[in-house]
Amino acid sequence: MIYKTTARFHRSQMACTDRTNHMLQEKAKRQLEKATDPLEKLRNVCLSRGANGIVGLGRQFRIIDDDGNKKLCFKEFQKGCRDFGADLTKEEIEEIFHMIDKDGSGSIDFEEFLQALRVIVLDAFLFQPAMSKARQEIVNKAFMKLDKTKDGVIKVDDLKGVYNCKHHPKYINGEKTEDEIFVEFLKTFQPADNADDTVTKEEFFNYYNGVSASIDNDAYFDLMMRTAYKL
């Protein structure tokens, strides 16, 4: 069902973003200080940069993937970690790489790498999803509502008729056009230095995986999503 939102939607969504981002960063920094598992360290480095930190690292690896096969050899993986600023030793990077390269092929699938970042390490062999099934479902509902054309990405055209910016302060005072406000909204889910005009499902989930990590209460997370997206 198509809904008409107002500036209140935008303000509440952005206020929630700022608040949860701050909570996430502080929590990740504390966890980073006591983390001993290399993969958990890398994950907390990402989250210490905010909810889109994992998105930023993902884009970093796409840039480094010179041959475009969506796989990373150890050399590419090591360079990506260091370019991202992760303070890990060579031995720790090797441990992460071999943990993900379960078949011993000498390369890791990019999706496997992202999945590894989305989990909290319990031990070398057991992982627990960072987002519960219920949280994943509510995030998916939000994405599906915004993805009006059902092509797997959220674009400016998807937001037209779904996200009404006519009451947005920047639209009212003429500072921004409708399309510019839509683009600003989409960039919420991406790193500032790598943002574009589309948000993939992967980026949307990575963003809310980060937000989820800062919220312990399932009911609060559910309420936050339903309020922000009128679900």
User: Each residue of 83-117: pLDDT tens digit?
Assistant: 888 889 999 999 989 888 877 888 888 766 766 67
- Quick one: pLDDT at residue 208? 83
- Quick one: pLDDT at residue 108? 86
Mean pLDDT, consecutive 10-residue stretches, the chain (231 aa), reads 37 52 78 85 83 76 78 88 89 90 82 66 37 90 91 86 74 85 79 70 81 79 84 82
- CATH architecture, range 25-129: Orthogonal Bundle (1.10)
- CATH architecture, range 7-22+132-229: Orthogonal Bundle (1.10)
* CATH topology match: 7-22+132-229 vs 25-129: yes
- Quick one: pLDDT at residue 135? 92
Residues 178, 202: Cα–Cα separation, whole Å: 25
Question: Which residues have CB under 8 Å from 118's CB, separation 6+?
Answer: 54, 129, 130, 131, 205, 206, 209
- Quick one: pLDDT at residue 128? 38
Residue ranges per structural domain of the chain: 7-22+132-229, 25-129
